[in-house]
Structure 1
């Protein structure tokens, strides 16, 4: 069923590419957690580059990876973790020299505003019957959640309570709508619904889970490489970084300086 749905989505993207996308448009496939920030960034980019329209396809990073592997007509890929980008790079599906980390994030345990939860260990409370988290097999936030719960010795105990979302926004919705007494999402997603959910406790990056960084790259089969490269560069520029910061994203890691060139021996 999932494979059939994936094929239908790829066909829809192909139709979009052939019928709607012009030479001055690019299609960006981005992790669901980036949707609010990227919609604003898209408008900001078009203001600076009025000749280019940016369209977005938001889903879980794992689903987007599969779409690109299946030949979806995408120009830029922005992932919520390096794993999906690494897989595409190994298969030659991205332009490796355009790859860069452009943002960071945190992982948060959330609950409805009136919840009495105070810490991660409270997930074992019998009153907590449903815990929303994203599918660890295809969604980075779910993978980081599983890492955190495992490190804290909670994973085995909470599995019967787990309600899995297909992307982080769906997982957030479970808590917002009262379908789960707790959930684990990115901090930026929690911030987007701060009127209806609260952060109980944040995970400790580097201790509970591997650090959360977002890589972006131009897809190898892009039909508009100049515009795609310009968009990737724009994500690292002050204007886009200010938008990302406003939505709660952290600064990307500092790039390592290139090693000094070896001096040539004179004959």
Structure 2
């Protein structure tokens, strides 16, 4: 059937309306593009995987920010006790750097060819402290045997070097047997700190680096009372190693990273 000029005009107008692009706000465009931009940016930034002893928990964000700023490489930290991290590396965990709380575990992995020969280096000396979360600031080390101290938290000696050092202190002070019934063991120094923070321990043996900003009384311990806490790193012997691992080692041992450690509870 022939259509009138008016009907043809109406049909053409309807077709143009169907082809007209949808109105999209600038905000809508940005919302659509931001996730893509974030994924692209993340993919472009290389990552370095660090197996880090729990005493580094508080300072790690500062280290990561400085390393990213100076190298453009993102350091991704995984925290656990030194012994647990060593076991993960033995089981094939794909870490690039092992930052331990002692030298013993790094040396053991080196003997198993899991650490690159010649890369083991001391990056800091740890400082062991006793933290009394509830205070007062006048508390002394001798107060560990007092009646008000019902629970003393420390990391398990078989898992964490700081735990072994804590037992050294108690033994050398001659009070280990007196306080042994009060000892509460945690899987790492970070977990031991949580016992104090949640009121489940009245005193905590903890790295100074974890309690710099905490309330209560903090007593740094004489290093002569315990075994050396020579915190050591090594490059994990992966089939495909990255140059950025060597950059991080230099950063932590000699560079800005070492300066950050000295400012945050390490020697």
Q: Which interval holds the TM-score relative to the shorter structure?
A: 0.7 to 0.9
Show CA shifts across 1:216-252 (max 9, x none): 11001263331111111111233112211221211xx
Q: How does 1:28-107 map to 2 (within 5 A)?
A: 28-50=50-72, 52-107=73-128
- Structure 1 CA distance, aligned partners of 2:182 and 2:232? 32
For residue 220 of structure 2, what is the aligned residue in structure 1? 202
Shift of 1:21: 8.8
**Which residue is 2:5 aligned to?**
none
Within 5 Å, give how 1:162-241 maps onto structure 2.
162-193=183-214, 196-199=215-218, 201-205=219-223, 207-221=224-238, 223-241=240-258
| Larger Rg computed on CA atoms | 2
Note the alpha carbon deviations across 1:108-166, whole angstroms, 9 max, x for none.
11102434773333222222111111111101111110111111112222221111111
The reply to whether residue 108 of structure 1 matches residue 125 of structure 2 is no
Structure-2 separation of matches of 1:57 and 1:125? 37
Which of 157, 170, 173 is 2:178 aligned to?
157
Contact 2:136 2:216 in 1 (8 A): no
Q: Which ranges of structure 2 fall in alignment gaps of 5 or more residues?
A: 1-41
Provide runs of 4+ in structure 1 moved above 6 Å: 20-23
2:57–2:210 CA contact under 8 A, matched in 1: no
**Which residue is equivalent to 1:243?**
260
TM-score w.r.t. structure 2 length? 0.78
Task: Give the equivalent residue in structure 1 for 2:46.
Answer: 24
Q: From the superposition, tell whether residues 24 and 67 of structure 1 become closer, same or farther in structure 2 (CA, over 3 Å).
A: same
TM-score (norm 1): 0.78
Aligned length: 226
Q: What is the CA–CA distance in structure 2 between the aligned matches of 1:131 and 1:222, rounded to whole Å?
A: 44
Counterpart position of 2:27: none
Structure 1, unaligned runs of 5 or more: 1-19, 251-267
Q: Give the superposed CA RMSD.
A: 2.1
Structure 1 segment 128-147 matched on structure 2, within 5 A: 128-147=149-168
Q: Distance in 2 between matches of 1:21 and 1:104?
A: 35
Deviation, 1:167, is 1.0
